[in-house]
Amino acid sequence: MTARAHRNLSLVAVKSPGRAAAVDDASVEAVVREVLAAVRDRGDAAVAEYAAKFDRSQRDGFEVTQEERAAALEDLDPQTRKDTVFAIDNVRRFAEAQRATLQPLEVEVMPGVHLGHRVIPVERVGCYVPGGRYPLLSAPIMTIVPAKVAGVDEVIAALPPNAHPAMIAGCHLSGADRIFRIGGAQAIAAMAFGTESVPRVDKIVGPGNAFVNEAKRQVFGAVGIDQLAGPSEIYVLADETGDAEMIATDLLAQAEHDPRTRVGLITTSRALAEATLAEVERQLGDLPTAATAGQAWRDSGEIVVAADEATMIAYSDEIAAEHLQIHTRDPRDFARKLRNYGSLFIGELASVVYSDKCSGTNHTLPTMAAGRYTGGLWVGTYLKVATHQWLDERGVRAVAPPAVRQSASEGLEGHRRAAQLRLDRMQAR
């Protein structure tokens, strides 16, 4: 953050905690390392042991059968099924539109030198579907549907054994090819290394608890991952036109996810800041999830008054919030000035809740300031852009001489010979 931004900010609610690390507990790292090693060495037997130890699960098999899928669908409330399909359709339509923007390339950069790329789906992915405090029916939609749109050959879903049965229906409706009731670090290990029951995947996506997050960190390299997810975040940027009741409602809606959720308002209006602070406290009085939301607000809530718009933008870009709402006089113009965020919600009618559930943009987003260098999960997460080249004799005559000279200057004789060989043969002909 710039010094100017520091000078022009003041806190109304002094709740500005330090950035949490993805993993702060050495014991989590040690436990995960043990789980990964055991599953890599002993496969299903180790998975079963940890399922019994951590989830108190004693299943004969890990994979959800077709009969169990059918039963989960049958038990799903009809309106819930309609709403789930509504969300799936929206996420699919947006993912298809995004996929259409990614095209193969072939270009002749100079006569005889042809370069290009292909857009290739990952062959097999693993989608971790968290159990959480509540049955989050949108969770499988956000990871599985874009994978299917991308053209992934096989999508593996893993969810904790104690997850709500409706989550199985959600995985099925979203298009999962296989579903396993395995949770925690052992699920990540099974998908990363493969077991007798679980096939090895090429990439693992989806959020989870600290153990899941640490397991993804440790298996990265052996497989790809989407990102390391921290606690959820929401910030609102507002000028004097902001509505305190609406802002407070949106902040608490996100805060009820997790007591570690980071929530905040950045505004140029002290009056709005004070009104929002009072409104949050008022709404906590009758919010059924106040135990969770209230702790998040007390521990990680923040209201900041900025001297001007430029300072508000600078502070927002420093935070790079996962969810960023804009409640200003001209929100569309304001949005164009922002650089760092996970997903943007432009205007007071665009609530994070709509994206969380069913509007179509993905809710698996960067946290802990990762929005400074990456976006969220999307159809491109499941695609590889792989380059290629081919040359004719004109191309060789153009690129071989500088390649020969550069190789010689670097002392790489093997490189020099490989660059010279084709030129020599052409000249001999």
140: domain CATH number? 3.40.50.1980
Q: Across the chain, what does the average pLDDT equal?
A: 93
> What pLDDT is stored for residue 23 in this prediction?
45
Phi-psi region of 112 (alpha: psi -120 to 50; beta: other; left: phi over 0): left
Flag whether 279 is in a domain: yes
Indicate the SS3 state at residue 63: strand
How many domains does the chain contain in total? Answer: 3
Q: Residue 30 contacts by C-beta under 8 Å, 6 or more apart in sequence?
A: none
pLDDT band at 18 (very low <50, low <70, confident <90, very high): very low
Is 46 in the same domain as 157?
yes
Flag whether 365 is in a domain: no
Q: What percent of the chain has pLDDT over 70?
A: 94
Instruction: Look at residues 236, 253, 212, 227 and name the one whose alpha carbon lies nearest to residue 353.
Output: 253
Query: Using CB atoms within 10 A of its CB, is residue 137 exposed (0-12), middle (13-18) or buried (19+)?
Result: buried
Q: Are 186 and 46 in contact (CB under 8 A)?
A: yes
> What pLDDT is stored for residue 134 in this prediction?
63
How large is the average pLDDT for residues 202-229?
A: 95
- Listed residues 183, 206, 225: the one ending a domain: 225
Is 58 in the same domain as 77?
yes
Is 221 in the same domain as 236?
no
Is 315 in the same domain as 258?
yes
Instruction: Look at residues 215, 132, 120, 124 and name the one whose alpha carbon lies nearest to residue 176.
Output: 124
pLDDT, tens only, 266-275: 999 999 999 9
pLDDT, tens only, 357-396: 999 999 999 999 999 999 999 999 999 999 999 999 999 9
Is 220 in the same domain as 243?
no
Is 85 in the same domain as 37?
yes
Flag whether 174 is in a domain: yes
CA 354 – CA 261 distance, rounded (Å)? 18
Is 354 in the same domain as 424?
no
pLDDT, tens only, 60-104: 889 999 999 999 999 999 999 999 999 999 999 999 999 999 999
Is 182 in the same domain as 213?
yes
Flag whether 58 is in a domain: yes
Domain of 417, in residue numbers? 392-428
Residues with a known catalytic role:
322-323
Is 217 in the same domain as 256?
no
CA 95 – CA 149 distance, rounded (Å)? 7
Is 81 in the same domain as 159?
yes
Flag whether 367 is in a domain: no
Flag whether 240 is in a domain: yes
